[in-house]
Amino acid sequence: MRTGTAAFLFCVLIAVHLLTLEEAEQARKTLPTGDGGTYVIPGPIAKILALEFDGLASDWYFLRALVFEGGTYERKEKPRVKSWEWKWFYDMLDSATALDPYFQDPYLLGNSHLTWEAHMIRETNSLLEKGNQHRDWDWLLPFYIGFNNFYFLHDNERAAEYLAEASKRPGPSEQLASLASRLAYKEKKTENAIIFLEVIAKKTEDEKLKKEFETRLKALKIRLLLERAVVSYKQKYHALPPKLRSLVTKGIITEIPADPYGGYFSLDTLGEIMSTSDDKLLPQQKRQ
Amino acid sequence: MTVYWPLALLTFKEGIRNRALYGISLIAFLFLGANVLISGSAMREIGKVAVDMALSTISFTGLLLVLFIGINLMAKDLDKRTIYMVLSRPISRPQYIVGKFFGMALLIVVTIAVLSVFGMLSIIIEKWAYPDYFPRFFWGPIFLAVLFAALSLILLSAVSFFFASFSSSSFLTLILTIMAYIIGQSLSDVKALVEAPQTAGITVSPVTHIIVQAAYYLFPNLSLFDLKIQAAHGLAVSPSYVGWTALYGLAYTCLMLFFAALIFRKKEFP
Amino acid sequence: MNVITYTGVSKKFKSWPRGKSIQALDDFSLSIEQGEVFGFLGPNGAGKSTAIKILINLIYPDKGSATLLGEDVKNRRIRRSIGYLPENPFFYDHLSAEELLWFGGKTSGLKSQDIRTRSAELLRRVDLTNVSKRPLRTYSKGMVQRAGLALALIHDPEVVILDEPMSGLDPIGRKMVGDIITELKQRGKTVFFSSHILTDIERFCDRAGFLISGRLRVVDRISSLLAGGSTLEDIFLSEVKKAGGGSEL
């Protein structure tokens, strides 16, 4: 073959190589990926298949779950993540922690999303419980189980138990112990929630999640303000205010602050503060 | 015992001069380089991932060494008739097996030592880059994990010697050793699953139960030597565990060599 | 004193797939005295290598026994006193001749200093000094053969067993080996070697034996064999005819 022909052929082949690679790559992006719906190998079987590479396999499962979750923020549709996808997400983290139950990241990742967004409270707690038993030096896990029991399951007793456990581990022991004792007082619900969330917000590193917690805290502080105003009114007038506006007209507070979730505050028949945006703040309020 | 050292050294030289070692080393360096890139993607426990990668690379590379260079050491002797050169010295067949094994063990120890230097380097680089993300990091458990990885490979090598003593082809020895490795690593987990099958939603017949029990005592329990998770999380390993496991490894290794020597005594070289 | 004895040794080999068996040695008995140079003759496949390998304990006899320097060949220690060069030897080709001799010397119980001295001497003797540090895989067939000879002699054995020692050697190499055999004889060593090259057997050996189809036919002093005017070749061919046909292979 003459050099000229060979050179020409070479250039053509390189061009074809680059072009087809580019096209194939673009086309692949339109294919559905498995993540979010593929079969997740259950923990005990994954342990067998991973041979001596359990740690690495758990890293792999966790990273897949992490990447999937991050990728969902590009989506436009609501709900952002479907319920079977949350199930997949949970299973991935469950298998990751079956392979390495000491790995903290899957527990924290699961807890950040599966309670607030997926409403899988009990499943999340059982996941965290696995970590709680193994990571016996880690106060965060029993703390989060305690929070979930308090905030979502309205089980103050359980919450206090877990907080007490957390306070025995190295960390902010005093703070946790005092919060545990506060939980005995059901009336202090909003205040306790604020204390909890301030700890959580401080511990959260993800910027998106941090902002969400700050909004929640703002909403809860406003509720606390309104609740205290209702108590002042009761003390002064020995009766519940007929409507929320009364707090302003009677001069207890200067104005009804705006709901950061854009809802509309009102008073229910028992004198509890309600908002049309309650679903966002206290997801399981009505369902329990 | 003047025969063991020259025989071990001969075997060691053969292994270290094997061209395949270059390929295996390349794989190891690629993985360790990847460690520096990959472990940063973890959320909080970057240290854990870095240690996982480094230790897994060391174990995997060691496995390649035992399977592809180790098995060839015995097989080549018989294929290329170099065994005449050894057995015509005042060396008995059992001494041949033991001497070659010492050489193989030396090869494993040296290779693992070199690999672990590079493995530790990749961990140190990560630690320097992300100092806050290394919770509970102690060098002790990491060194112990590397030591036990070496012991595990030495044990597997003894098993391969046993197979090679009666197998007619090196390929068969390779397959049998791979099977022993897979069974050895998964046995504890299989036993756990069979004793609590509901955790994976399956049922297990009593026959399977018995087979697994029998296999558990017959095959080498390699997973006992896997301390990677302990190393990744800085968990303590009790001295009694270390002692008993090391003793188990020693006993099983001697058993394998004993049988290999016994079978090899019958072998003739026409 | 009998340095090598075979007593009623028989060995049968089964050909695996078809089960056809070959009687490699049949009631083979032989004694060789100290200081003798004994030549072992016979057609290909007659059993010469088998007989030699039995002495090295590489093959086990079905019947009978063999001894070296009065010890049963199964005793590994007796191999300190023998040197063996197999037919078409194979060595670990990553080793250099020096490393090869170090291995041979050390396993036979020599001290490092002695190995160094003797290696230098032997390598000079077999003309491998210039290449002694190069790996054996770079050697020609002749050079490998010479290295093998050095390996067989590194520990100054009493008995030297050579299986076709001249194969692959050019005339210079053949002279070298011949000279070595002569030297060994002068030093009172016993040499047992098999060969096809009848002129070599005539030249170096005191006695010779013909092994045909596993049986030892003639064993006699060279001088006696040649006395009647026939050559070794004549005797060879007539014995083969008597045994009933040519070589098995």
Length of chain B counted residue by residue: 270
Q: Which chain B residues are closer than 8 Å to A43 by Cβ?
A: 199-200
Which of A48, A52, A104 minimises the CB distance to B59?
A: A52
Nearest residue in chain A measured CA to CA from B222: A52
Confidence of residue A279 (pLDDT cuts 50, 70, 90): low
Mutation site, A59, A68, A100, A130, interface B, largest B CB count within 10 A: A59
Q: Which chain B residues are closer than 8 Å to A109 by Cβ?
A: 43
Closest Cα in chain A, distance from residue B102 (Å): 25
Q: Where are the beta strands (DSSP E) in C78-225?
A: 82-85, 159-163, 190-194, 207-212, 215-221
Q: Which chain C residues are closer than 8 Å to B7 by Cβ?
A: 107
> According to the model, what pLDDT value does residue B252 have?
96
Nearest residue in chain B measured CA to CA from C55: B88
When computed from its CA atoms, the radius of gyration of chain A, rounded to whole angstroms, is 26
- pLDDT surpasses 80 at A126: yes
Show which subunits contact B, needing at least 3 CB pairs below 8 angstroms.
A, C
> Residue type at A266?
S
- pLDDT surpasses 90 at B55: yes
Query: What percent of chain B clears pLDDT 90, i.e. is strictly above it?
Result: 60
What's the mean pLDDT when you consider all of chain C? Answer: 88
CB contact under 8 A, B43 and A51: no
- Report d(CA C132, CA C119) in Å as an integer: 10
CB atoms within 10 A of CB A7: 10
Report whether C136 contacts C144 (CB < 8 A). Answer: yes
Nearest residue in chain B measured CA to CA from A99: B229
Supply the DSSP symbol for A80.
S
Nearest residue in chain C measured CA to CA from B8: C103
CB contact under 8 A, B226 and A52: yes
Interval A211-249: pLDDT, tens: 888 888 888 888 888 888 888 888 888 888 888 888 888
How far CA A131 is from CA of A99, B14, C49, C79, in Å, comes to: 12, 48, 70, 65
> According to the model, what pLDDT value does residue C212 have?
84
Give the lowest-confidence range in A67-81, A149-163, A179-193: A179-193
Which of C59, C90, C100 minimises the CB distance to B270?
A: C59
> According to the model, what pLDDT value does residue A50 have?
93
> According to the model, what pLDDT value does residue A186 have?
67
Interval C60-88: pLDDT, tens: 999 999 999 999 999 999 999 999 999 88
Q: Where are the beta strands (DSSP E) in B2-57?
A: none
- Collapsing DSSP to helix, strand or coil, A19 comes out as helix
- pLDDT surpasses 90 at A266: no
- Report d(CA C30, CA C211) in Å as an integer: 11
CB contact under 8 A, B56 and A56: yes
More confident residue, B246 or C210: B246
- Report d(CA B265, CA B256) in Å as an integer: 14
CB contact under 8 A, B89 and C50: no
Give the lowest-confidence range in A23-32, A83-92, A138-147, C4-13: A23-32
Report whether A254 contacts A248 (CB < 8 A). Answer: yes
Give the lowest-confidence range in A57-66, A144-153, B49-58, C234-243: C234-243
Confidence of residue B112 (pLDDT cuts 50, 70, 90): very high
Confidence of residue A271 (pLDDT cuts 50, 70, 90): confident
> According to the model, what pLDDT value does residue B74 have?
81
What's the mean pLDDT when you consider all of chain B? Answer: 91
Q: Which chain C residues are closer than 8 Å to B86 by Cβ?
A: 107
Give the HSE-up count for residue B104: Cα atoms under 13 Å, Cβ half-sphere: 30
Q: What angle do CA C161, C166, C171 make, to 5 degrees?
A: 145
- Please name the residue that has the structure tokens 């950061």: A260
- pLDDT surpasses 50 at A284: no
CB contact under 8 A, A102 and B182: no
Interval A97-124: pLDDT, tens: 999 999 999 999 999 999 988 889 999 9
**What is the pTM (predicted TM-score) of this model?**
0.87
CB contact under 8 A, B84 and C107: no
More confident residue, A21 or C17: A21
ipTM of the shown complex: 0.88
Q: Is B107 on the interface with C (CB under 8 A)?
A: no
Report whether C79 contacts C56 (CB < 8 A). Answer: yes
Domains in chain C, start-ordered, CATH in brackets? 2-243 (3.40.50.300)
- Report d(CA B152, CA B252) in Å as an integer: 11
Mean predicted confidence (pLDDT) in C91-101? 93
Q: Which residues touch C29 (CB under 8 Å, ≥6 apart)?
A: C5, C6, C7, C8, C9, C64, C216
Interval B147-197: pLDDT, tens: 999 999 999 999 999 999 998 888 999 999 999 999 999 999 999 888 888
- pLDDT surpasses 90 at C97: yes
Q: Which residues touch A20 (CB under 8 Å, ≥6 apart)?
A: none
- pLDDT surpasses 70 at A287: no
Q: Which chain C residues are closer than 8 Å to B90 by Cβ?
A: 76-80, 107-109
Q: Which chain B residues are closer than 8 Å to C72 by Cβ?
A: none
Q: Phi first, then psi: give them for residue B62, nearest 5 degrees.
A: -60, -40
Give the lowest-confidence range in A269-273, B217-221, C38-42: A269-273
Query: Is B247 exposed, middle or buried, given 0-12, 13-18 or 19+ CB atoms closer than 10 A?
Result: exposed
- pLDDT surpasses 50 at A72: yes
> According to the model, what pLDDT value does residue A73 have?
85
- pLDDT surpasses 50 at A288: no
Q: What is the DSSP string of C25-65?
A: EEEEEEEEETT-EEEEE--TTSSHHHHHHHHTTSS--SEEE
Report whether A65 contacts A106 (CB < 8 A). Answer: yes
- pLDDT surpasses 80 at A257: yes
